[in-house]
Amino acid sequence: MPSNLALNGKNATSRKQESNLVKTFKRLLKNKLAVFGLFIIAILIIIAVFAPLLVSQGPFEQNLSETELGVGEQGHLLGTDNYGRDMWSRLIYGARISLVVGLSSVILGLIGGLILGLLGGYYKKLDGIIMRIVDLLFAFPGILLAMLIIAMLGTSLVNVIIAISIWSIPGCARIVRGSALSIKKQEYILAMKSLGASDARIILKHILPNCTAPIIVFATMRMGTAILSTSALSFLGLGAQPPTPEWGAMIAAGQDFMWSAPHMSVIPGVAIMLTIFAFNVVGDGLRDALDPNMELDG
Amino acid sequence: MGHLLLVENLVTQYRTAGGKLPAVQGISFSVNKGETLCIVGESGCGKSATSLSIMGLLPANGEITGSIRLKGDEIVGKSEEQLQKIRGNEMSMIFQEPMTALNPVFSIGFQLREPLMIHRKLSKKEATQNSIDLLDKVGIPNPEEKLKQYPHELSGGMRQRVMIAMALACDPSLLIADEPTTALDVTIQAQIIELIDDLKEQMGMGVVFVTHDMGVVAEIADRVMVMYGGEVVEMGDVYSVFNSPQHSYTKKLLAAVPNVDDESKFWLQEATTDDGSTTSS
């Protein structure tokens, strides 16, 4: 069809062009590390979704005659913990928790950050107030801010989600505000105003879609950080409470058995590491793939 | 009676850290239906500030006093919502840079539908149908195919045609063109001017055409308004301004237009020595 116009190098205007998902995805697939990351994330998602089908023993089921079994012993793929609970089962139920907590806190954080960032970027009058609030949130070291919020709300996974999403707001707000500020000054926004578009229409329909690239990168990177923070908070006893198969809590529980059963801590630790690694390399890859200048190297 | 646009005593100022900066200092003019008024003048003389004032699109630090009436309806002092109903509907504007006046992330079709969906409340399907007619009207071949394309896939002249189509989507009675041909090369310029002139005739609009190019003025204007330093220094119909300019600034402006017949400006004169003999090296 009209594909004679897809000749990349020919086009000298290297501004951001079509929001072509397929094109970006193809560029992402050229990055081997990002593909590896995507592969890990895909496995994580499959495991989390089909968790009940993949285990022979529930994550809470204790078997006191089979405690502290090593990896692969007596049919337990990853061994058992000090109560005889199957580590494999706990690990994949833990993936569920990590993904749900990570995703929901990133989404909540994005919503908050988008609202603040778009308003601050578009309305000069609100900019000062909003950015001072953001600065205030930024002033706290992230994990301390999260601990503070949990101290106020009480320890539970839901509160961890709230804490981490509040922690994600300032970063997102700054990124969005920056994009909104530069896009607002473009002539096409003035042109849209001259056609009678309302502020809400301009913000939501014309500025927001122009910010998607940095938001996607931010959200992906943030997923890794959110999962790590959830585990860190749980490790400190502020998040998921003991019987819950949360990775951070599992590391904490394994601490006392470091010599007799090191796999109790090492396995969830490796799981956290791989997950964060995966989200980071995919985020990196996306940043490169969404960069319009990459097209010229194509 | 009956002026389409009547501007009286318009003063536009920008509030800056160093006090108020006047851009337009008390100008008055009118535009009738089916008439083209050219505003000419050098950079910074208040041409664009005038057109933005009429549209109510001054930046946040801009201030207007005076009166601007569109079809007898006072625009100065209207709320933003009221202005939004007028913009794109009763009056429209096209801009200088067709490269930046279209959103690079959306297809032509998406952007053309916008004014139709805002003012006419058309559904997406109806708006698409109307967009095809609009593109046809501004002389773009294969309109159905063009709707799916993105701005970077079109040439400057095509983009300016799309801009014109967007501006005229809701049959405005006043079109403000802020240097619409400056960024285009000469042949395309001529086409765009002809297009605006044709559409003016067809739709019976009034046109305010802002430019600094006297050649363009001669082609399109019915009347000319010359601005300098935020004030109107001369106004009159195009023949009298060109044939017998009254103000010295207008004379200079006309004298600054390169003349194709005047060979002395274009050919390097042979270097002559003091005694008048020609040297050649």
What phi, psi does A62 have (nearest 5°)? -100, 145
Q: Is B202 on the interface with A (CB under 8 A)?
A: no
Grade residue B278 by pLDDT with cuts at 50, 70 and 90.
Answer: low
Which of A19, A188, A209 is closest, CB to CB, to B102?
A188
Q: Is A8 on the interface with B (CB under 8 A)?
A: no
Which residues does chain B have within 8 Å of residue A209's beta carbon, measured at their own beta carbons?
105-106
pLDDT at position A178 is: 92
The answer to whether the Cβ–Cβ distance between B92 and A194 falls below 8 Å is: yes
Q: What is the dihedral of CA A131, A134, A138, A142, to 10 degrees?
A: -160
The answer to whether the Cβ–Cβ distance between A196 and B89 falls below 8 Å is: yes
The answer to whether the Cβ–Cβ distance between B101 and A18 falls below 8 Å is: no
Contact, A86 vs A57, CB < 8 A?
yes
- Output the CATH code of domain A38-51+78-292: 1.10.3720.10
What phi, psi does B15 have (nearest 5°)? -80, 125
pLDDT at position A5 is: 43
Q: Give tens-digit pLDDT for B32-44.
A: 988 999 999 888 8
Burial class (CB in 10 A: 0-12, 13-18, 19+), B244: exposed
Cα B146 to the center of its chain, rounded Å: 25
The answer to whether the Cβ–Cβ distance between B166 and A2 falls below 8 Å is: no
User: How much of chain B is in helix, strand and coil states, percent to nearest 5?
Assistant: 35, 25, 35
Which of A2, A193, A210 is closest, CB to CB, to B145?
A2
The answer to whether the Cβ–Cβ distance between A196 and B86 falls below 8 Å is: yes
The answer to whether the Cβ–Cβ distance between A187 and B84 falls below 8 Å is: no
The answer to whether the Cβ–Cβ distance between B84 and A197 falls below 8 Å is: yes
Strand intervals (E) in chain B: 5-16, 19-31, 36-40, 62-70, 73-74, 91-94, 174-178, 206-211, 223-228, 231-237
Question: Chain A: residue nearest B115 by CA?
Answer: A195
Which of A17, A18, A194 is closest, CB to CB, to B88?
A194
Grade residue B97 by pLDDT with cuts at 50, 70 and 90.
Answer: confident
B255-278 average pLDDT score: 60
Q: Is the pLDDT of residue B267 over 70?
A: no
Enumerate residues 49 to 108 of chain B having a beta carbon within 8 A of any beta carbon in chain A: 55, 57, 60, 80-81, 84-89, 92-93, 95, 97, 99-107
Tokens coding B198? 């044709």
The answer to whether the Cβ–Cβ distance between B104 and A209 falls below 8 Å is: no
Question: Chain A: residue nearest B54 by CA?
Answer: A194
Which residues does chain B have within 8 Å of residue A186's beta carbon, measured at their own beta carbons?
100, 103
- Which residue bears the tokens 């793929």? A77
pLDDT at position B280 is: 47
Q: How many Cβ pairs closer than 8 A exist between chain A and B?
A: 88
The answer to whether the Cβ–Cβ distance between A196 and B97 falls below 8 Å is: no
The answer to whether the Cβ–Cβ distance between A18 and B150 falls below 8 Å is: yes
d(CA B213, CA B47): 13
pLDDT at position B171 is: 87
Q: Is B226 on the interface with A (CB under 8 A)?
A: no
Low-confidence stretches of chain A (pLDDT beneath 70):
1-20, 292-298
Which residues does chain A have within 8 Å of residue B115's beta carbon, measured at their own beta carbons?
195-196
Bridge partners (DSSP) listed for residue B69: B6, B74
Grade residue B174 by pLDDT with cuts at 50, 70 and 90.
Answer: very high
Tokens coding B185? 């090369």
d(CA B234, CA B38): 12
- Which residue bears the tokens 């069809």? A1
In this prediction the ipTM stands at 0.81
Which of B57, B85, B166 is closest, CB to CB, to A190?
B57
The answer to whether the Cβ–Cβ distance between A187 and B166 falls below 8 Å is: no
Q: Give tens-digit pLDDT for A85-131.
A: 888 889 999 999 999 999 999 999 999 999 999 999 999 889 999 99
Three-state DSSP string of A122-153: HCHHHHHHHHHHHHHHHHCCHHHHHHHHHHHH
Which residues does chain A have within 8 Å of residue B145's beta carbon, measured at their own beta carbons?
2
pLDDT at position A4 is: 43
Tell me the domains of chain B and their CATH numbers: 1-90+174-256 (3.40.50.300), 97-171 (no CATH)
Q: Quick count: other Cβ atoms within 10 Å of Cβ B126? A: 14
Grade residue B28 by pLDDT with cuts at 50, 70 and 90.
Answer: very high
pLDDT at position A15 is: 40
pLDDT at position A161 is: 92
